[in-house]
Every structure is written in structure tokens, then in C-alpha cells.
Amino acid sequence: MKILAIRVGRTGDIVMITAALKLILDKWADAELHVLTSPDGKRVLKNFDDRLTKVIIYNRKGVKGLIEKARVKKETNKIAYDEIFCFELNPGFLKILSEQRTKISQITQAKTVTNYAQRCLRVVSDKSESQDRWLYLPVKEEGKSLARQQLLEQEISESNYVVGFHPSFSALRKLSFRNRSTRNQKGWPAEHFANLAIMISDYAAQNNKKISIIMDLVPEDRGLGEKIVRLSNKKVKLFIPPLNFERYKAILQRMDLLVSPDTGPMHIAAAVGTNLVALFAGHDPRDCGPYVPDSQFRILRAEDTEHSEMGLGAITPESVFQACKTFLP
């Protein structure tokens, strides 16, 4: 039996379907799973499960969109699938699969605000079978070993409580004016991160706790990371390691707490079991927030402040610190 699942998007979009993918694999225990996805999806789902045996890449970016669409249509229709689950609202995917004779189960617009991950679960099965199923990503021992080595080099031992900051987002380095609203919704100011680091460090000193604060960033975000380190009086340790997704998942899992805007790393951290303080502006966390047990996260929204027009900047370091204290030792 062969099953096809479809989701083309960025890292966070792909992580959000992992609960549904696990349900597919559990419900059809002898099935082989194929996924039609983006280059980001291929990276996220690598090593997801041994029964995910084929990844079909659909890169919709660029001028060759029509050629790419034709290639994907040809490749997907080489196989007669027994079940197809489309986690995309775009009806164009039904045209790509027009030669398939099996029924295609497709996600629809929700009548009420419902988390996207939950909507995907309901495409696969009924409400009772999808209960208590959460985002999930496996973390391999290879990645854990690299993460341990990375922390030990900075004298962060297994006994340290680790707080992670993720200050960046995918549109940060784009200069287009169209990204101004995204910056407003995704960018918590560097000064706020620095002040939060000082508060956490003071808390650790006052309570005799071993708390390390780290940022694990890509090279392009070095400048932002160094600014936060400087403003925090070096209370934050900055890592710019070689790119390795298994290591990155492991470092997020090693964090006892991650403070992050609504980004892909927020969803990855949720999927590997890390506690979260997540910052939102302009988007409803009931729709796109972390889909894990409520005990695992706290959410702060700009809309709940007196200056919501400022976006994430309206959320104060003091309020984030109070949310962090829910998880701090």
C-alpha cells in the first residue's frame, strides 16, 4: 500500500503536518509513505520514519514554475496511490493529481479558528483517533553527540539549565518594503532580548542556579547575535556552527526553554519537546501556534498590550521574563 501526503512550504509549515504524518503511519501500519513537498520539507522530514521512502520535491519559486509543475505531475502519476492526503488549500494540487483514480482527502477552510495541525489530523481521521497527537520530530544520536560537544566547548554541562533565544526569522535579511509588516510581526527587538538575558542572569545569581543562555544562529544572522551579546553584557553565548539539521534539532531539544517569535524554530522546538515562550503579533496562535500540550508553552501577544500597533516590540522584556519564570528552575 502506498500513501501520498502533500505539503509545500517553509520549515514551520512542514513541521505542522508531522502529527498527521504520524497518524497516517500508525493507522496504516504496513503502508509506504511518500511526500510531495518543498526543499525545506525534504530537510525537515529526513530521518522522520523508515517508512517514508520517497520525497518528491516541488520548488514553486522562480520563472520555471510551469515546467516544474509538469515535472511534478509526471512523477507523482507514475504511481497509483491507495490514499492521498492534501494538506494544501490550493485547488491547483488537484490538477496535478488529476490522473489518480483514488479519492483525494484535502484540507478545507475552518469555519472556526482551529490550529492548522489539528485540521490536518482531521483530514486523516476522525476526532477520536486524532486526540492527544502532537507535533513530532525524531532526534538522532548523531545530532545529540554534536550538540553535547558544542555545549561542552563553552563549558555548558549536562547539569546546566539552558535557555535559548531565537531572535531571527526568514524575512529578516530581505530589504523589500513589503517585508516591513513581517518585521513588525516577527522581530522582537535586540534590546528586549538583551534585557531579558540580564533578568534571567540576575535571577540565576539570586537563586544560585546554573542557567546558561545561548543563541544558535546561521552565519547571516551573526550581526544580530553579536548585538544581543554586546547589549546583554555578554550574558548570552552565541553559536554559529556548521549547518547540520540533525545537530540543530538536538540543540533545540537540549534547551530547557526557548524564547522565540512565531518562526520555524519555534515549531521545531515544540516538536522535539522543548518548553516555549512564544511571541505573536498579527497572527492568531490558535491557528498557527505550537501544537503541543498546553503545559509545554506560554504565549504572549502584542494584541494584549496597550501599544499593539508596535507589533512584537510592544511585548516587554518584563512580561516575557514572568512567562519564563513558569519554567525556570
Q: Grid coordinates standing for 12?
A: 514551520
Tell me what pLDDT residue 193 has.
Answer: 98
Q: Report the candidate in 277, 275, 268 with the shortest Cα–Cα distance to residue 299.
A: 277
Task: Extract the C-alpha cell encoding 122.
Answer: 482531521
Burial class (CB in 10 A: 0-12, 13-18, 19+), 226: middle
Dihedral angle of Cα 113, 185, 296, 11, to the nearest 10 degrees: 90
Query: Are 76 and 36 contacting, i.e. CB atoms less than 8 angstroms apart?
Result: yes
What is the distance between the alpha carbons of residues 127 and 114, in angstroms, rounded to a whole number?
A: 13
DSSP β-bridge partners for residue 216 = 239
Q: Which pLDDT score is estimated for 176?
A: 45
Phi (first) and psi of residue 7, to 5 degrees: -160, 115
| 110-114 own/partner pairs: CB under 8 Å, 24+ apart | 110/287, 113/284, 113/286, 113/287, 114/286, 114/287
Separation of alpha carbons 302 and 306, rounded Å = 8
Contacts of 129 (CB under 8 A, 6+ apart): 23, 27
pLDDT at 6: 97
Q: How many CB atoms lie within 10 A of CB 102?
A: 14
Residues 56 and 72: beta-carbon distance below 8 Å: yes
pLDDT at 309: 87
Which pLDDT value is given to residue 61?
72
Cα distance between residue 300 and residue 107, in whole Å:
28
pLDDT in tens, 147-167: 999 999 999 999 999 999 999
For each of the domains in the chain, give its residue range(s) and CATH number, in order of start.
Answer: 2-124 (3.40.50.2000), 141-324 (3.40.50.2000)
How far lies 237's CA from each of 44, 217, 252, in Å? 26, 11, 15
165, 277 in Cβ contact below 8 A?
no
Please report which residue ranges of the chain form alpha helices under DSSP H. Answer: 11-15, 18-27, 39-45, 65-76, 92-96, 116-124, 141-152, 180-186, 190-206, 222-231, 245-254, 264-271, 285-288, 317-324
The alpha carbon of residue 327 and the mean position of all alpha carbons in its chain are separated, in whole angstroms, by 20
- Which residues of the chain are modeled with pLDDT < 70? 62-63, 127-128, 170-184
